[in-house]
Chain A
Amino acid sequence: MELSLATRAVGEHTVLEVGGEVDVYTAPRLRERLLELIDGGARHVVVDLGRVDFLDSTGLGVLVGALKRLRSAGGSFALVCDKEPLLKIFRITALDQVFPLYPTVDAAIGADPTGAGV
């Protein structure tokens, strides 16, 4: 399945809904979109992986890049994921200790330590 990207605003947060396959071919599009959002002023970004069927190391690299960029800009970055196969990927790579991971978008926004929750 092709990559799908959709953005919506929830209060001060920008939620990027990602669907389909994030791999070495499609990850550059995800990187571009995240950079567009950050360069456009988004500072509190939640990436919803709920409709992602496949995620590889290239996609994870893009997500880490966005996390670092936002943190250095004083922003926040969180992931929404409740699928066990994807969660296993985060555990195996130790990225579950790097990303704030939440089961729902509401939980991600409500838990934002920057106080930007709605």
Chain B
Amino acid sequence: MATVRLSFSPAPVHVRTARLVGVAVARRAGVREDLLDEVRLAIGEACTRAVALHRQYHVPDPVLVEMSDAGSYSVRVVDRAPIEASIGLTALDADQLANESLDEDDLTTGVGFALLAGFVEDLQVRPVDEGVGTEVRMVWPVGR
């Protein structure tokens, strides 16, 4: 079993780094090549959500990304924002998306969740075990 941990200051510029590391570890773990685009997108969405929450609530703590290949490839993205874990986790339908009154931030949040739910079969969003924050846990099968 291998574990890779990455923590980064909650700034948009670092989300790309998290995506690159996440895909590199996924490839090394044996995730099928045709799933890697989805891994990249899902890790990016989870990190984008975490960064947005840290900035919204002025939380300077780093965002944690932990990747593990124990039997499958699992990725945990942990934020420290003081909110209910379920907030913002609603996919929007086409009418809502096109609604003039929906602002861009809310639209991005809804679309981000739709992408997470659509691309990750094994997805859990739950409060962290200790302290405040949310853990987004994503699991993909490995081909070995």
Q: Which residues of A contact B (CB under 8 A)?
A: 21, 23-25, 54, 56-58, 60-62, 64-65, 68, 72, 85, 89, 92-95, 97-98
Contact = CB atoms under 8 A, between A and B. Distances in A.
Is the contact region of chain B dominated by helix, strand, or loop, or is it mixed?
helix
B44 A23 contact: yes
A20 to B, nearest CB: 11
Residue among A24, A25, A89, A94 with the highest chain B CB neighbour number at 10 A: A24
Given A25-B16, A94-B94, A60 B48 contact: no
B8 interface: no
A89 B115 contact: yes
Nearest to B47: A24
Q: Is the interface on chain B under 10, 10 to 19, 20 to 34, or 35 or more residues?
A: 20 to 34
Contact of B115 (A21, A23, A57, A72): A57
Interface of B: 12-13, 15-16, 19, 37, 40-41, 44-45, 48, 51-52, 91-94, 97-98, 100, 104-105, 107-109, 111-112, 114-115, 118-119
Residue among A64, A94, A97, A98 with the highest chain B CB neighbour number at 10 A: A94
Contacts of B94: 94-95, 97-98
